[in-house]
Structure 1
Amino acid sequence: MNSRVGNLPALSTSFVGRQSEVTEIRTLLQATRLVTLIGSGGIGKTRLAVEAAAVSAHAFPDGAWLVNLAPVQRPTAVPGMVATALGVPDLGTRPLMEQLGGCLARRRALVLLDNCEHQADACAELAKALLSAAPEVRVLATSRRTLGLAGEHLVTVGPLPPADAARLLQDRATTARSTFTADERQRAEIARLCADLDGLPLAIELAASRLHTLTVAQVAERLEDRFALLTGDSPTAAPHQRTLRATIGWSYELCTPAERLLWNRLSVFAGGFALDAAEGVCAGDGIAPHEVLDLLDRLVDQSVVLTTDCDGVLRYRLLESVRQYGWEELASSGQTQQFRARHRDFFLTIARCVDTDWFAGGQAERLARLRADHPNLLVALDYDADPQARLALAGALIFHWCVGGFLTEGRRQLEAALAQAPEPTLERVRGLFAAVWVAQTQGDLAAADRWLDEAEPLTQRLGDPVQLPRADGFRGVSAHYRGHPQESVALYESAVAALVAAGDEREATSWRLALACVQAYAGDPRAAQSCGELISFFEASGERWGRAQVLMALGHNAWAVGDPEATKELARSALENMRGFNDHAMVARMLELLAWATSNSGEHARAARLLGAAEALWRNADTSIGAFGPWVAEQHAHCAKAAADALGREAYAQALAEGGRRNSPGQAIPYALSSDRTSAMPAVPAKALTRRECEVAELVAMGLSNRQIASRLGRSPRTVGGHVQNLLAKLDFRSRAQIASWWAANQKPTRGSTP
């Protein structure tokens, strides 16, 4: 984490009123560790919390992090949602709550737990654990009820006062209709309307969205009719709840039939969704596929659907109160099961495509998509009407679990799906092998062996020509991890030969990769040819994840045979290929290699900084260098001692701490690459660049393409390309990688990143 770190959204609408509450919350966060905003639905708790977190962010150098808990359906999923929001990989065997505490233990960060009320006990348990493990962490929560923890400070969020409510309505009305103005008579009507809406921000937003076609008086009149109709509804509900429900219901009634259908169907999504998901799940039975985008735009105009930018991709979401209304309407139509099944099947198709096309390139982007849809994946997996489909989804998400950093969640989901679908099917074989991979990645070889012992005879009984060789492959993984490389090589070779004969090139490539890497680690003379062939294949397809593994394995081999310069170049190349991935453990291993070779060149301060970054990633991954064998741990200790002896204990500790601030792959990779080339970096100050060029340079350093940068900045790809060319000319560089390295070495990031 570093300055201006975090994931707070860049909101497109202005913040109106509540300045005294913002000041109060900011003051409380300086003096206390847990602040909870209490208030009814639609009262504006989330918007207030985000604003207070944003103005307090400078006090938290390790980031302000928003965790939306509205999609969470089970208490056990709360820690996972927090880890996802913070970018903390779930890679260890310890409970995820402990992993989160360990990751945040040395951080000064603000964690914003939003929408806690339906999982209040689980949120309270998590907040207590985080505050206990991380003394510099602050928690800001929003809820309709207190968390009930000692030391919890409550801030009651009430309706907007009349003046602020009127300002909010006028501000949003101007957005809806640029020509909107308010004379004295209209100001009186605005005041009456805001009073009728009880000063509820969400109700005001919904009402204001109608002012592009109706006058204030007409909106007020129609809402009064709606309130009259609902006077008998839910007599035990609080007045604000009745007002909000009436306003949402009125907005619903003003929608066209097609808009209502889409609103209902969108309620099956959790946390947000992309356009293709809306089209894939919601089209049909009254909505043509080509109509979905237009209907979405109309719902956005009416403040029913909100938009957000996620890594250059436009995503949509519904506020929880709005989503719940649509869900009730969907249930009343008797279509809940139909659209939950569509939702599950859509994400099953996505997961299978990621699995099938894994070596075709674009892996980081695919994993980012799955990460953004993680709440939807959990909802889809909770739909257990068809146990075989649930098992298929859990197994197809194997790269999301193992490479995307969700091992504990993946294991839980696979165990549950396997228990629910015990039939001896091919889907069970796939699920068992997925569970084996997860357990092996966690280092739990005993559990992996148990699942293998079930899967192997089942594959033999079913006789599937693709699944049979996978048993040999996974046996080879266990042999490798137990220190038997020759046995591993033989098993991998058997798997590759059988899969080639079966005609499954995708699966054969997986085990070719495993074979080439173990040959390189073992010093097998065939490694150079095996690795070279794979690298050529991966370069042709644009694949980077497997390429990075091969380069790292060759780097270890180069170090073992005493070639530090080759080690350094191979480690650099491996790191370049890991841009955009969130694999903490793999990047840490590459940093270790680079540190050893750098120390060998006498650059002990740089080596110490690289070790510090690696150690931070080890901690985040809930593992250590020792997990990869005694030889690797010995090399780490030797490098650390050489650096400490050369620098002195105090300077070594400072260098280690400096590197440790780069505690995510997104920060550590450009830092490591730039630190090796610092002497060659031109001392071009930021003032020599325009503000836009600085923004583009930072986004290039984050690994974004011209198209993604264009989407982020609201410019055309051609314009962004011009900025990149200007940067190359001013800095006298030839590649984007040099821009990224220069930025990491010379500038302070201004955008969010992961811890």
Structure 2
Amino acid sequence: MSAVSLRGDEVPASTSQFFGREAESETLEYLLTSVFRLITLVGPGGIGKTRLAAETLRGIDRAGSRHVHWVRLARLPRDSASVVEEVAHSVVRSDVVGQSAWDALLGALRFEASDGLAPLLVLDNCEHVNSAARQLITDLLSAVPELTILATSREPVGWAEEYVFAVPPLSPRQSLELLRVRAAIVGRPVPEDPEQITLARTICRRVDHNPLFIRLASARLRHRPLAGLLDELTGDTSDRRLAWRQGVRMESEGRHSGIGSVVEWSFDLCRAEERLLLERLAVFAAGFEETDNAAPARNGVELDAIVAVCANDALPAAAIAPILDGLVEKSLVSTHARAGMVRYYLLESVRLFAYQELFDREAERVRLQQRHRRYYRRGIGSIRDIWCGPEQQAWVEWVRDAWDNILIAIESSFTDPAEALIGLEISTVLISRWIPRGRAGAVLRLTELALDATQESGPAAEALRVRAMALIGRLALWQGECETAAALLDRCAAVCAPTVGDWRASATVDIGLPPAVEWTWGSELMMVAMDQRAVIVLDRARGKFHDAGDTLGEEACLQFLAFASAFVGDRAQALERTRHYLDLAAGAGATRTMAFAEIAHSIALARCGHTREALALTDALLSAPLVPDDMWTVSWALAGRFITLTEILADTTSPGAVDRDRIARELARLVGAFAAHHRSTGVAIHRIPLLATHLDRAAQLAGRALGEEDYADAQDQGKALLRTFVDSGDIGRGAFAAAATAGPGAGAPGVLWASLTRAERHIATYAAAGWTNTAIAAHRRCSVRTVDAQLASVRRKLMITSRNDILRHIPAEISKAVADATQNRPAR
């Protein structure tokens, strides 16, 4: 028998401040005292698995409760067969001669268990010796029933009863706090300046909210300002983060010497087919999931997209899913699930490493980019068949999730004129139908670049190029760039009707302009000139779209035709045309289309003096649960409401019939909310004559009725309510409008409560009753992380800073539920 020299390892000492992780530490503490015998902390390198384990163990009062042994497996070479010896080396407290390492280890653990103090074995960094570690764990748990094992690894150990605890990235709030503290340590504190704070937040997101990466970024601040550091995080081939390095403080931390080393360590543990798929996944956009809001910002790609782009003879389609699962297990591919679908993504640092591996194989990279571009062209183009039907909202959600990939599909097309036409086609469909909130500027820039890249594409591309110019002009109108829109229309007319002199004088005559040009021209006549001829031009554009079989363009023109009729058309026809559009929308079953039809009809009703009917229609619109994050529909619904209220306030023939003070206060709040709302979407309403005229009239009437001071207060209420709902990510919910249209007691119990989702109300009830986040999570059978995020959303929506303030917002009918929950509050 061999002689084994053995010594003990200690829990790693704390060398710096521990940030965040309160919820994770509380959960881990609970797990360590539960029935689970193997708990594995998994996550990508640098995420803080070891630190979380160490800090949690230090926080537990272990006096007389159990024996703790910490084993650093990182110092073993890859696939080492010496795991048993290393563990025994750390556990057995004396030199033992004449026994094997296994016998000595087993004897030591059984001896500790015999005195009633259950042993806890921590196996730190298992991923590179996973097979040997799994066998040892299986044998030890069978031989020592009292033993608990806590493992840290970039992938699960693989034992049948293993509890896998995925360690998440820091929240954006925690990331910012860590960056600011580390920046101060290196002598470059981040000042309390909004611009600098924004830069710091962006840096945290670009390094995946990974604690190690944030520390590396902070160290770079010794040599450059925040803006300079952000310049190194481009996300493309010029990105410099993979070259960042820190001094290696101990042998086991060589894999943590830099971001490149962190990713390379995991990459080298992959099989050949896993590496190949990982490299091909780099043609997709990097992904993220931020959880400070109840509705996290997310993206990623569906399995169908990965198969369509990445599969070939070397990676058969049927093999993609299991290989992908392996990469998820290794913490190289991240996932999130929604509505029964799993979406996959690479964090930006992993994507950069993988793309670096792929970049030199140019033929393969170009082929993958072409397949990627065509996949997203198909997805975007599918809207032509489904926009007017019930699948409309599913397409909108897909575009929102796929947004970064759509931009990559356009941007990567510019090196080849033929491919640039595909990029231009994608962007024109987006402009013609729907762009997510705040993203219009990016699409505009890429569309202009695509136009430049297709200048030499020949006559065959002319129709697409003219359509793109016309649609850019339409987008410019909404941004208040009326002169830009006019110049683009002139360019389109010069191409399509070169022999017509003063083409703008021919609104009542068809001079052969394409339907997209007519659509933008009709929009200009409505929004800038407020000219009745907008109805004629838009109706002509609708007919041309119909004749061309372009159902998407026809429906868009019908919508604008309804609004032009309501705003500037003949009053007798306004009701007829908007009612016709309303009937068409009701038959189609498309949620957004129906909402716009109701808004247009409410404006026509108000303009024609049917204010009671218009008010009932806007009441129904704004009390209904609208689509989340649908800024556009909400803004037009608010417009319909304040236009109706303006007509009521302007009617002085029956002053006793309405409460003019109440109407004026609501109108002031809506004016404030509407103006702030459009600023948050990038729409310059004060530079669009149609909207500015209606806003000015509403403001004058409300201000005259209330007086300057009361009007300003009411307007500020509307702006504050808007900020609450925008920050919470719930701007598309009818609860915002319900609060905005509430009376002077908008802060009273029950009003802001209405802004909470059902899940948030449930969690807020238990929080008000004094339950801990862990107890709420256990009761609801969800993660503590989810409860944290939802309570953060509750605080924002109720405009409070502490959970202790929830009680003052509890409606009377909820008070009994809070009392019951307080009575049944579990012991800690």
TM-score scaled by length of structure 1: 0.59
**Residue of structure 1 equivalent to 2:627:** 579
Indicate conservation of the 8 Å contact 2:432/2:553, yes or no.
no
1:248 paired to 2:266: yes
Kept in 1: contact 2:519–2:538 (CA 8 A): yes
1:132-157, Cα deviation, whole Å (9 max, x unpaired): xxxxxxx9995673297779999xxx
Residue correspondence of structure 1 range 430-579 to structure 2 within 5 A: 430-456=467-493, 458=495, 468-522=514-568, 523-575=570-622, 576=624, 578-579=626-627
Shift, 1:389, TM fit: 2.1
Does residue 1:318 correspond to 2:346, yes or no? Answer: yes
Label 1:262 to 1:610 Cα distance change in 2 as closer, same or farther (>3 A): same
Instruction: Give the equivalent residue in structure 1 for 2:17.
Output: 20
Q: Residues 7-46 of structure 1 correspond to what in structure 2 (within 5 A)? A: 20-22=17-19, 43-44=46-47
What letter corresponds to residue 297 of structure 1 in structure 2?
D
Moved more, 446-455 or 408-417: 446-455
Counterpart amino acid of 1:672? Answer: A
TM-aligned CA deviation for residue 447 of structure 1: 2.4
CA-to-aligned-CA distance 1:349-390 (integer Å, 9 cap, x gap): 222223553222444443333233332223222212322222
Pick one of 657, 676, 679 that aligns with 1:619. 679
Matches within 5 A, 1:675-690: none
Structure 2 CA distance, aligned partners of 1:690 and 1:362?
24
> Which amino acid is 2:427 matched to?
A
1:360 alignment partner, SS class: coil
Q: Which residue of 2 aligns with 1:51?
A: 170
Answering whether residue 398 of structure 2 is matched by residue 369 of structure 1, we say yes
Which of residues 140, 146, 156 is equivalent to 2:221?
A: 146
1:666 corresponds to 2:730: yes
> How many residues are treated as equivalent by the alignment?
530
Paired with 1:341 and 1:574, the residues of 2 have a C-alpha distance of: 43
Structure 2 Cα separation of the partners of residues 530 and 685 of structure 1 = 38
Q: Which deviations, in whole Å up to 9, do the C-alpha atoms of 1:211-237 show, x marking residues without a partner?
A: xxxxxxxxxxxxxxxxxxxxxxxxxxx
1:509/1:685 CA distance change after superposition, 3 Å: closer
1:696 CA drift (Å):
9.3
Distance 2:681 2:672 in 1: 14
Give the C-alpha shift of residue 197 in structure 1. Answer: 4.1
For the Cα contact (< 8 Å) 2:574–2:604, is it kept in 1? no
| Distance in 2 separating the partners of 1:673 and 1:695 | 20
SS at match of 1:198: helix
- Relative to structure 1, is the Cα distance of residues 597 and 55 closer, same or farther in structure 2, using a 3 angstrom cutoff? farther
Tell me which amino acid in the other structure corresponds to 1:264. E
2:680 and 2:369 mapped to 1: Cα distance?
35
SS at match of 1:397: helix
Correspondence 1:162-311 to 2 at 5 A: 196-198=251-253, 240=258, 243-244=261-262, 246-252=264-270, 255=271, 257-272=272-287, 273-275=300-302, 276-309=304-337
Task: State the secondary structure of the residue aligned to 1:473.
Answer: helix
- State the alpha-carbon separation in 2 of the partners of residues 615 and 368 from structure 1: 26
1:51 counterpart letter in structure 2: L
- Work out which of the residue numbers 702, 715, 734 in structure 2 matches 1:640: 702
Structure exhibiting the larger radius of gyration computed from Cα positions: 2
Partner in structure 2 of residue 344 of structure 1: 373
Quick one: distance in 2 between partners of 1:18 and 1:467? 71
CA distance in 2, matches of 1:552, 1:691: 27
* CA distance 1:653–1:264, shift in 2 (3 Å): closer
> Does the 8 A contact of 1:439 with 1:447 survive in 2?
yes
Q: C-alpha displacement at 1:338, in angstroms? A: 0.9
Matched residue SS, 1:562: coil
Paired position in structure 2 for 1:751? none
Scaled by the length of structure 2, the TM-score of the pair is 0.54
Q: Which amino acid aligns with 1:279?
A: V
2:476 is equivalent to residue 412 of structure 1: no
Aligned counterpart, 1:694: 761
Equivalent residue runs for 1:389-404 within 5 Å: 389-399=422-432, 402=435, 404=437
Q: Which has the higher contact order (CA 8 A, sep 6+)?
A: 1
Cα deviation, residue 595, structure 1: 5.6
Shift of 1:314: 3.3
| Alignment partner, residue 739 of structure 1 | none
The percent of aligned pairs where both chains have the same amino acid is: 21
Matched with 2:773 is none
1:417 CA drift (Å): 0.8
CA distance in structure 2 between the partners assigned to 1:269 and 1:676 by the alignment: 43
Distance change >3 Å, CA 635–CA 376, structure 1 → 2: same
In structure 1, C-alpha distance between the alignment counterparts of 2:811 and 2:586, rounded to whole Å: 26
CA 1:266–1:142: 2 relative to 1, 3 Å: same
Q: CA deviation digits over 1:569-628, x for unaligned, max 9?
A: 232344448533132753552453466479764425544443442232133234345634
Q: Distance in 2 between matches of 1:249 and 1:579?
A: 41
The alpha-carbon deviation at position 337 of structure 1 amounts to: 0.9
What SS does the corresponding residue of 1:113 show, helix, strand or coil?
A: helix
Query: What displacement does 1:414 show?
Result: 1.3
Cross-structure match for 1:750: none
- The 1:377/1:467 distance shift into structure 2, 3 A limit, reads farther
Structure 1 gap segments, 5+ residues each: 1-15, 25-40, 65-100, 119-138, 155-192, 204-238, 699-712, 716-741, 748-755
Give 1:198 shift.
0.5
Superposed counterparts of 1:54-65, under 5 Å:
54=173
- 1:395·1:434 contact (CA, 8 Å) conserved in 2? yes
> Bigger shift: 393-402 or 405-414?
393-402
Distance across 2 between alignment mates of 1:487 and 1:595 = 27
